[in-house]
Structure formats: structure tokens, C-alpha cells
Amino acid sequence: MPLKSYGLEGVVAAESELSCIDGEKGILEYRGYDVHKLAKNSSFEEVAFLLWYGYLPKKKEFEKFKNDLRNRREVPEEIVELLKLLPSTTHPMIALRTAISFLSSFDERLEDYSEERNMERSKRLLAVFPTIVAYFDRIRNGKEVIPPDPHLNHTANFLYMLRGERAGEIETRVLDLDFLLHAEHTMNASTFTARISASTLADMYSGIVAAIATLMGPLHGGASQKVMEMLLEIGEVDNVEGYVKRALAAGERIMGFGHRVYKVMDPRAIELRKLAQELGEYTGDLTWYEISEKLREVVYREKGLHPNVDFYSASIYANLGIPVDMFVCMFAIARVAGWTAHMIEQYRDNRLIRPLQRYVGRKNLKYIPLEDR
């Protein structure tokens, strides 16, 4: 008889105050604030503060918080040297995972689990993810790295370090909202990985390295790269119908569609769809948005599935000129806010996470000595 909770479907694995989802109604809230309201009024840095501290900051404390992040963007020279050692063909998520693992060697008080120390680590990790991703892309393309600019906000600084020039206001706002919408999402696979790691009292870097590794899978954060590869293969709107019918007939998954929890359209996809259109109109290239819209219509008609968070993100990153193999790094740059917040929640009231299994193998076998086998 199949295991009802296969893939832990329907199993409540933790209690959390960080975010909640209503999958039937398509509602997502961060600390009680609906993401549609946050997308309209907030920013990625403000949402990081909200997730970590549980309330929206006042002006002065927000300015201090943003400065705290700005002052933590640099990485040790050894990290740059490490990134130079990696083959240029290394996947950027592997570069990020490796660099974060190395970064833990520079934390002299790794055994200090105090909340104060872990909050410091959370700020450090959030601040350096963009630096590491941008540095690796510059290095693998044979370019000089561009140090962070303390005059720019988190997202504008990332685009500056990546491109070597300041991005426009619309591009910065669209990517910042993309990060805001990717920041946190209850007990998804990579967040659960981070909590399991924290529950053993492993250090925060170890949990984040494990979460980066988990996010990379194409059924999770890796989907956005697969969505782009699909859009490139389809090429134009007229090819969508045939592509979908062939893929579904072959039993393939259409990347960027479906979700374990949402039974209606992912509220983040609703916001990202608007941003993909706005950015496409700004850049004058609506190709990927138009193919996406046709895919949304056909996949819903053929399979009753809705787009998830990774679907329209692909069009946004493509129009920002982000390399396709770095799409999932955008997800990681955002989700490190949620991962660190969940780890802090786990450390605060910890119990080792250790589920049961149902054994379905053979039992009570007689041992046959080697010479008699």
C-alpha cells in the first residue's frame, strides 16, 4: 500500500511564525503581511528585516540595517582566489556553495550559537551572496571583479557588480521585487534542509550550504533555468501548442508549472507576470513574455496546471541579461533571507528532526559464509 505521506506530502514538520500559505485561495503572507501588499509597498531589504525581526522597521532602524548590510558585502581576498581556481565551466550554484563553505573558515566563533551571533551571520550571508555570484561571473568571463558600491541598495549593487555599470531604475525595481517574492516560502525543500541541519546544531554556514545544494534541483529552484531552456527551444508563440502536447504525451513535466501546495495560481507568479510584462515593454523585447502567456493558456487547458514562482522569473532574468545558468542563483540570493530566519527559529526552540520510515526490505536472512556463496 503506497505511503500516504510519500514526499512528506501533507505532513506538518514544524511550527513557524515566518510565513504562511493558503494553497486553496492562493495566499502567501510574510509575518502576517500579504505578499501583494509587500510587492506594492516594500523592498527586499525591508522584507529581510521583517523576516528576521518580526516587524516592519522604523526609518532610523531601517537606515542602520541597510548600512549594516552595506558594510558586510566585501569578501576575503582568499574567496576571490578560490573563485579563480574553479574551472570556468563550474555551475554558478556550485561556485556559490563552495565559496560559502570556505567563508565559514573565517568565522572564528563558529561554535557560538547565540542568537546575536547568528543574526550577525545572517546579515553577512545575505550581504555576500550577490558579491560571490557577481564575482564568479566576472572571473569566469575573464573580467576583473568589481567591488561593491556602498552608495547602492542591495539589488542595484548586485547589478552594478555584475555589469560594471549602474542599472536603470525599472530594472533595479523589477529584480528587487523578484527577490522580495522569492525570499521565503514556509517548508519548501531547501528551507526544510536548512532546518534539519540546524536541528543537529550544525553551524549556520553548514545549513546554508546544504540549502544551496537542495535548491539547485530542477524540481525546486533549478526550474527557472529549465523554463528558459524550454522558452529557447520553443522559440516562438506558434510552436507552443505543439511543444506542450508532445511533452505531455511523452509524460514530461512542463517546468515552471504545478506546485505541491498551491491549487490555484501562485500569488508570486501573479506579481511576477506583471513585472515580466513591464520589463519586456521597457526593454522592447516581449518575446519570452508572449511565449510564456501562450504556455500558461495551453498548459492550463491541457493539464489544469498553473504557473509557479519559477515561471515568469525566467523572462525577467532573460530581459535583465542574467546568464541562464545563474537564474537559480537569483533564487538563492533571495531565499537566504528565509533560510537564515528559519534556522534562527529552529535554534531558538530546537528538537532534533528525525522522522520514522516504514521498512519494506527483506528480514531475518541466514548469513552464508563467503566460501559457500
In the bound state with ligand SDX, the residue whose beta carbon lies nearer, of 251 and 369, is 251
* CA-CA-CA-CA torsion sign (312, 317, 318, 324): negative
274 binds ligand SDX (CB under 6 A): no
In the bound state with ligand SDX, the residue whose beta carbon lies nearer, of 152 and 275, is 275
In the bound state with ligand SDX, the residue whose beta carbon lies nearer, of 205 and 311, is 311
CB of 371 to ligand SDX, least distance (A): 48
Q: How far is C-alpha 220 from the geometric centre of its chain's CA atoms?
A: 9
In the bound state with ligand SDX, the residue whose beta carbon lies nearer, of 166 and 220, is 220
How many residues would you count in the chain? Answer: 373
Contacts of 103 (CB under 8 A, 6+ apart): 75, 76, 79, 128, 205
* CA-CA-CA-CA torsion sign (314, 315, 316, 322): positive
83 binds ligand SDX (CB under 6 A): no
In the bound state with ligand SDX, the residue whose beta carbon lies nearer, of 148 and 258, is 258
330 binds ligand SDX (CB under 6 A): no
Residues that are catalytic: 220, 259, 310
Nearest alpha carbon to residue 218 among 314, 140, 86, 88: 314
280 binds ligand SDX (CB under 6 A): no
Per DSSP bridges, beta strands 19-22 and 33-34 are unpaired
Residue nearest to ligand SDX (CB): 258
Separation of alpha carbons 289 and 311, rounded Å: 10
Separation of alpha carbons 164 and 270, rounded Å: 32
Beta bridge partners of 19: 30
Among 19, 42, 188, 315, binds ligand SDX (CB under 6 A): 188
166 binds ligand SDX (CB under 6 A): no
CB of 24 to ligand SDX, least distance (A): 15
Say how many C-beta atoms besides its own lie within 10 A of residue 161's C-beta: 23
Beta bridge partners of 20: 29
Which positions from 201 through 240 interact with ligand SDX, judged by CB under 6 A? 219-221, 223
Torsions phi, psi for 145 (to 5 deg): -75, 150
Among 8, 305, 324, 353, binds ligand SDX (CB under 6 A): 305
Determine contact, residues 298/244, Cβ cutoff 8 Å.
yes
300 binds ligand SDX (CB under 6 A): no
Cell numbers given for 220 = 525546486
Stretch that binds ligand SDX, among 155-163, 198-206, 257-265, 343-351 (CB under 6 A): 257-265
253 binds ligand SDX (CB under 6 A): yes
260 binds ligand SDX (CB under 6 A): yes
Among 130, 207, 258, 267, binds ligand SDX (CB under 6 A): 258
Separation of alpha carbons 173 and 327, rounded Å: 17
Q: DSSP character for 307?
A: B
In the bound state with ligand SDX, the residue whose beta carbon lies nearer, of 43 and 193, is 193
Residues that bind ligand SDX (CB under 6 A): 7, 185, 188, 219-221, 223, 253-260, 303, 305, 308-310
